[in-house]
């Protein structure tokens, strides 16, 4: 999985480099790969054309969800991280790490 200069996310075959699927949207800030999904962060989401994060189906690239980052001129500043059923990211509008999803409780540590 990679982001291109032409504002697309592309899944390539490891065997021969052939394109499996491609999806519009900027992935300039990063891609995190999970078992069933990939999460991208960028300045242009595939459907909303706004800065934030999006989850794509790993097998065909369909958009599963998008999360716009709120704020004037806000954008993700690092690649997202998938861990413990949540997505973690930072942005120029946040003062720390932001978590999306079900994060583990303190009892699970």
CATH number of the domain where residue 41 is located: 2.40.128.630
Does residue 14 form part of some domain?
Answer: yes
| C-beta of residue 16 within 8 angstroms of C-beta of residue 22 | no
Q: Find out whether 61 and 53 touch, Cβ atoms under 8 Å.
A: no
Tell me if 109 is assigned to some domain.
Answer: no
**How open is the CA angle 83-49-7, to the nearest 5 degrees?**
80
Residue 28's pLDDT is what? 66
* Phi-psi group of 78: left, alpha or beta (phi > 0 → left; psi -120 to 50 → alpha; rest → beta): beta
CA dist 16 and 19 (Å) reads 9
Closest C-alpha to 1, from 24, 26, 21: 21
Is beta strand 30-33 parallel, antiparallel or unpaired with respect to 86-89?
Answer: unpaired
**Is the pLDDT score of 79 beyond 70?**
yes
Interatomic CA distance for residues 69 and 11, integer angstroms: 25
Structural domain total, the chain: 1
What value does the mean pLDDT of the chain take? 86
Quote the domain boundaries for residue 89: 2-101
The reported pTM is 0.83
pLDDT of residue 6: 80
Res. 69 pLDDT band, cuts 50 70 90: confident
Per-residue pLDDT tens digits for 19-37: 999 988 765 678 999 999 9
Helix (H) or strand (E) holding 55: strand 52-57
Tell me, yes or no, whether 97 lies in a domain.
Answer: yes
């Amino acid at each position: 999985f990679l982001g291109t200069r032409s504002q697309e996310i592309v899944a390539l075959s490891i065997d021969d480099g052939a394109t499996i699927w491609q999806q519009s949207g900027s992935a300039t800030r990063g891609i995190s790969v999970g078992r069933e999904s990939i999460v991208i962060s960028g300045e242009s989401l595939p459907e909303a054309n706004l800065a934030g994060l999006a989850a794509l189906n790993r097998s065909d690239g369909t958009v599963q969800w998008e999360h716009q980052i709120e704020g004037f001129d806000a954008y993700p500043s690092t690649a997202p991280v998938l861990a413990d059923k949540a997505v973690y990211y930072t942005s120029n509008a946040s003062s720390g790490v932001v978590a999306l999803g079900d994060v583990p409780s303190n009892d699970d540590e």
